[in-house]
Structure 1
Amino acid sequence: MTFKELNIAPPILKAIEEKGYLIPTPIQEKAIPAALNKNDILGCAQTGTGKTASFAIPVIQHLLTDQETGKSRGIKALILTPTRELALQISECINDYACHTRIRHGVIFGGVNQRAQVDMLRKGTDILVATPGRLLDLMNQGYVHLDQVRYFVLDEADRMLDMGFIHDIRRVLAKLPENKQTLFFSATVPDTIVSLANSLLKNPVRISITPQSPVVETVEQFVYYIEKEEKGHLLISLLRKAENQSVLIFSRTKHNADRIVRSLSKAGIGSQAIHGNKSQTARQLALGNFKSGKTRVMVATDIAARGIDINELPLVINYDLPDIPETYVHRIGRTGRAGNTGIALTFCSREERKLMNSIQKLTGKKLCRAELSV
């Protein structure tokens, strides 16, 4: 099945095709038609399975239809997620798929000054991506009103509960209209999640995607335990040794991706960055250069790297560890494809040791410690 066969609206389909996506993931294939049919959904799927598009695409398409029928202004879709990082990733995804529409979206989360977020809300937004704490803060201050919400997404529900957000979630739910579509996603479905889902959903379509084995057998994995300040020197040393190889480097943030490119340029190593702040044209050009071999080194954030699919990619470097262990598996899966072998190198600073432990627990594999030779 292709995205075209899922009856996706032309402006969204155009954005998908520009990304180079042709075939939906298993959860997208099941969830998108059900969501477009206005069914509630209970989806069980790990991060990295493509579930963000499973709810983002139908929500955008519903809003396109609503605009055509002249329905009221105000926040029409609310997407609730546990962390700032996930909120930003979802916002980038919506930006990608809604780029050929007039649908407005915004993201709010704590830990930063609220002024810019308040300004965005005052201008108006159709889709609001939010973390629970900041959402409730701005609701209490009168900046957010949820009475016109028609589409509600609760993402990473089990993680929400683990982080103690259950009371915040119930306070938000109390402010939502009863007549709405609810899309509920969780990596696991313990009794607490079942209870919450039963109170939220009406005759839901149940979708469960069994995660693939997290151990990528064709990829050799090594870790460098190194101070944060030394990562740049190690990267330059490794790239000089791998001078004829294509290398994909993962950065946790857009800012750091750009900084890595500048650092490599000073060392005489050409590279390009691909992330959400780059225009679509710039991303496609960079991706084309990398696939053709014109650019040997690509620095990418996790969201932007979704369009990178190269069978003969010998080396992936995790400059920063991801916040979510499953993302590590998704990253290293960029190498070792189509019967080829690959190498994944990970830089782990003292601050990232807990993240490394989580990754090793998920994969059931202790990464080989690489010797430093900078």
Structure 2
Amino acid sequence: MESVDEFHQLNLDQRILKAISDLNWVKPTDIQQAVIPLVFAKKCLIVHAKTGSGKTAAFAIPILNDLLQEKQFAMCQSTSVVVLAPTKELCSQVASNIKCLCKYAAKSISSVDISTGHDTDQIKPLILENPDIIIGTPSRLMKVLRSGILSLKDLRCIVVDEADLIFTFGYEDEIRDLRSYLPQKIQAILMSATLDDTSKVIRRYLVKNADWVRVELPDEAFLPGDSQLTQYIISAEDNDKYAILIALFKLRIVRGKTLIFTNSVDRCYKLRLFLEEFGIRAALLNSELPVKSRSHVIDQFNRGLYDYLLATDESQADHSTSNNEGGKKSLKKPRCRDVEYGVSRGIDFQMVSNVINFDFPPTPILYVHRVGRTARADQMGTALSFVSKLEESRLADVEALLNPAGAAAAAKSGVASEKKDFASSIFRPYQFRLSEVDGFRYRAADVMRHITRKLVREARLKEIKIELLNSERLKGYFQDHIPDLEALRHDKPLKHVAQPHLKDVPDYLVPPSLKALMPGSCHSRKAAERWKRRNLHTDDKSTTSYVNLKKRLQIKHKQARKRKSQNPLFSFGRKKSKVG
């Protein structure tokens, strides 16, 4: 395969090239270089590529380009492409990506995301127009097909994104029944970051007697290398996790947009209430919230309105592992949970600097997809995972998947887990002495005593009621009032902060090595005074404390103009204003 340095070498339509330029995509990724020519050749593909490598664009660009060419000679409007994804969030993202690539061809290509509507009647008018591209979950697609309002007789291509999750979310019956609605000869594309035996079953259901081409880059790793992604672990029990997390945030050790994962909805609300007590506001994502609200939260997080986003991926966790909390507790799961929810798989969170596993994921694959939300494309990222003694076996499973050689060496040496040698490991121990933040431990323990199960339950009910109202507004009113949509936020406090003093960090709680970095500390004030005296050339502390260099120059110029206007020697030759 020849290397392609620029997109125009792929002979794409000028409208698509212009849209790609607006997205600031400089050159095709490795997987795009491999997949795009094969899609043009109408091959049935099984594509395996790591998360964040540009898989969506790899199939969307050639498909859209073919549609634009076929439109020149098409006699009637028909649905030519179906894109299936296991979650509503992923469907929304695929629809958004296609919309961006069709920016300059919106009049020629139409697409509809059928996963968002609760009632088929809501999207029936759009489907009856036979859009070129249908995007949705398998269950939603089958519901539309059984209603008779959609025909796939002219279908040419079907794409299954995150194919290995299709059966995990319980869509096997839908995929099997879908075969009867498809033409005999179509192009099928299966995309995923991790492929298993599921792909073989899907291939048999969708297309029979086809020659499949497997696309897998050589030496393809699950996650970016150490030069791009740094993976840390902190050994901490449950009670210490809260204190360490708040210390990392309040001492500004962790900076930038941060995605924090927990394993349950209750845990997520508990953590949000805890952070609110310390004046840290965070948005929240879980399966109980309406899909419109979830999509809006992701959009606002990507645009930088929130620095912290708390998320659960309990849908994937429930499917991939057995419930470890006992039967009684599992019966209390809310009935309103959306089984088509998922944020750790496929969702393109933009410019995420850090991913924090507050609860260590139950499976290695779930770890890969959580951490894969950062260090995407060519960006740098950091992953920080809290690991308790009960979770050390999970950590070993992740190490065995991502670093088989290092895991084998550690097993051969027989070193105890508490004396683990990290020289051959992909993980680095986070150098954090808990003794230096004892003050935070006492404060965290005091706050946690007030966050009871009743308070968490009330917070969940309040949040759901608010988001249901927001979701209805998002469907109607906000579509015509964009400024109000921009003002709608999802990180409002769930309760009144009863202890406002917790927002500030006293100087005695700050470790000596970090005092110079803390805003408002005596060390930072003294450093600022030294800088101002050195740069403003004055010893007058009363003025240098409040007037920076730019302001001082503005005042100096204003005073000079005033003196000039008051000097009669500068008034000669000035035109006098006419009186009367």
TM-score of the two chains, using structure 2 as the length reference: 0.46
Q: Give how far 1:111 is off.
A: 8.9
Other-structure match for 1:96: 100
Q: Give how far 1:17 is off.
A: 1.9
SS of the residue 1:247 aligns to: coil
Match of 1:328 among 334, 353, 370: 370
Other-structure match for 2:157: 151
Instruction: String of CA shifts for 1:236-263, please: whole Å, max 9, x gaps.
Output: 87454228x85123489xxxxxxx9xx9
SS of the residue 2:79 aligns to: coil
Instruction: String of CA shifts for 1:327-365, please: whole Å, max 9, x gaps.
Output: 333334269978xxx6434699xxxxxx99997886577
Match of 1:196 among 203, 220, 230: 203
Q: Distance in 2 between matches of 1:359 and 1:86?
A: 25
Other-structure match for 2:232: 221
1:344 and 2:378 aligned? no
8 Å Cα contact 1:320/1:347 also seen in 2: yes
Aligned amino acid, residue 203 of structure 2: L
SS of the residue 2:150 aligns to: coil
Match of 1:116 among 93, 101, 122: 122
8 Å Cα contact 1:15/1:98 also seen in 2: yes
Match of 2:68 among 49, 52, 64: 64
SS of the residue 2:372 aligns to: helix
Change (3 A) 1:65 1:248: same
Q: Give how far 1:185 is off.
A: 3.0
Q: Distance in 2 between matches of 1:106 and 1:337?
A: 31
8 Å Cα contact 1:107/1:129 also seen in 2: yes
Q: Give how far 1:158 is off.
A: 3.1
Q: Distance in 1 between matches of 2:401 and 2:96?
A: 26
1:178 and 2:184 aligned? yes
Aligned amino acid, residue 37 of structure 1: A
SS of the residue 2:373 aligns to: helix
Other-structure match for 1:316: 354
8 Å Cα contact 2:79/2:154 also seen in 1: yes
Instruction: String of CA shifts for 1:202-221, please: whole Å, max 9, x gaps.
Output: 33443123532537535142
TM-score of the two chains, using structure 1 as the length reference: 0.68
8 Å Cα contact 1:42/1:204 also seen in 2: yes
1:242 and 2:235 aligned? no
Change (3 A) 1:199 1:68: closer
Q: Distance in 1 between matches of 2:355 and 2:119?
A: 33
Match of 1:207 among 215, 235, 238: 215
Change (3 A) 1:30 1:37: same
Change (3 A) 1:51 1:161: same
Instruction: String of CA shifts for 1:115-134, please: whole Å, max 9, x gaps.
Output: 43334324542211121112
Other-structure match for 1:256: none
Aligned amino acid, residue 214 of structure 1: L
Aligned amino acid, residue 329 of structure 1: V
SS of the residue 1:221 aligns to: strand
8 Å Cα contact 1:12/1:98 also seen in 2: yes
Change (3 A) 1:20 1:172: same
8 Å Cα contact 1:12/1:57 also seen in 2: yes
Instruction: String of CA shifts for 1:309-339, please: whole Å, max 9, x gaps.
Output: 9xxxxx524499999543333334269978x
Aligned amino acid, residue 109 of structure 1: S
Match of 1:12 among 12, 16, 40: 16
Match of 2:36 among 32, 44, 48: 32
Other-structure match for 2:562: none
Q: Give how far 1:181 is off.
A: 2.4
8 Å Cα contact 1:326/1:362 also seen in 2: no
SS of the residue 1:331 aligns to: coil
Q: Give how far 1:190 is off.
A: 3.1
1:142 and 2:148 aligned? yes
8 Å Cα contact 2:190/2:199 also seen in 1: no
Aligned amino acid, residue 193 of structure 1: K
Change (3 A) 1:111 1:18: closer
Q: Distance in 1 between matches of 2:132 and 2:237?
A: 45
Structure with bigger strand share is 1
Q: Distance in 2 between matches of 1:31 and 1:112?
A: 35
Other-structure match for 1:257: none
Q: Give how far 1:78 is off.
A: 0.6
1:105 and 2:147 aligned? no
Higher relative contact order, chain-length normalized (CA < 8 Å, sep 6+): 1
Aligned amino acid, residue 158 of structure 1: D
SS of the residue 2:166 aligns to: helix
Q: Which has the larger radius of gyration?
A: 2
Instruction: String of CA shifts for 1:168-188, please: whole Å, max 9, x gaps.
Output: 213212211224322233532
8 Å Cα contact 1:276/1:303 also seen in 2: no
Q: Distance in 2 between matches of 1:158 and 1:126?
A: 26
Q: Give how far 1:201 is off.
A: 6.2
Structure with bigger helix share is 2
SS of the residue 2:369 aligns to: helix
- What CA RMSD, in Å, does the superposition of the two structures yield over aligned residues? 5.0
Instruction: String of CA shifts for 1:15-59, please: whole Å, max 9, x gaps.
Output: 222222112222211111111233332323344332211111112
